[in-house]
Amino acid sequence: MPEANRELYPTTRINVPNFVPLMERLRDESLKRAITIVHVHSPEEGEWIFNTAAARLHRDKIPIVGPEAGRVIDIVETAIRTKSPIAFTGEMRRDDDSRALRAGATFGIHTLAFVVRETRKEADDLVTMLGSWSSFDLALLSEIP
């Protein structure tokens, strides 16, 4: 773009935490039984990251379910019913949420959730506590030390 046009149409760059690795995982078709968990400071930050990623995927005409309010199991069931390849489920808090993520991944849906914890170690401990992830391609994305 010529320099003159950049001055006429300024853009704002927003630094979304974990956005690049998240989008790389979502676009990687070689991943099977994929579950991505994003570690965030607050529920609002998690919603912001998911809404930004969902908007980018929607722009590329990739069908998705979520992010929306509701129980994780309901969002995963909607993704299974509509055969959407990606489901943004929101905050993962309970064992039922982790079971729903695993069920969706078993059906070939790339399921995503976020966890709100102060440190990376607390997020790791929560993910470990919420069940066995051994047969899944699990990624915990975090920029928090």
Lowest mean pLDDT among 3-17, 27-41, 113-127: 3-17
Model confidence band, residue 111 (pLDDT cutoffs 50, 70, 90): very high
Give the residue from 63, 66, 35 showing the smallest Cα distance to 50: 66
For residues 11 and 80, give the distance between their C-alpha atoms in angstroms, rounded to a whole number.
38
Domain ranges of the chain: 37-141
pLDDT in the model for residue 19: 80
Handedness of CA 36, 41, 45, 49 (dihedral sign): negative
pLDDT in the model for residue 12: 60
Burial class (CB in 10 A: 0-12, 13-18, 19+), 58: exposed
Could you read off the pLDDT of 82-98 as tens digits, one per residue?
A: 999 999 998 988 889 99
| Residue partners of 73: CB distance under 8 A and separation at least 6 | 96, 97, 100
Both tokens of 51, joined, read: 């809404």
Backbone angles phi, psi at 40, to 5 degrees: -130, 165
Average pLDDT score, the chain: 86
Neighbouring C-beta atoms of residue 106, cutoff 10 Å = 13
- Residue 9's identity, in one-letter code, is Y
Q: Which helix (H) or strand (E) holds 34?
A: strand 34-40
Q: DSSP secondary-structure letter at 94?
A: S
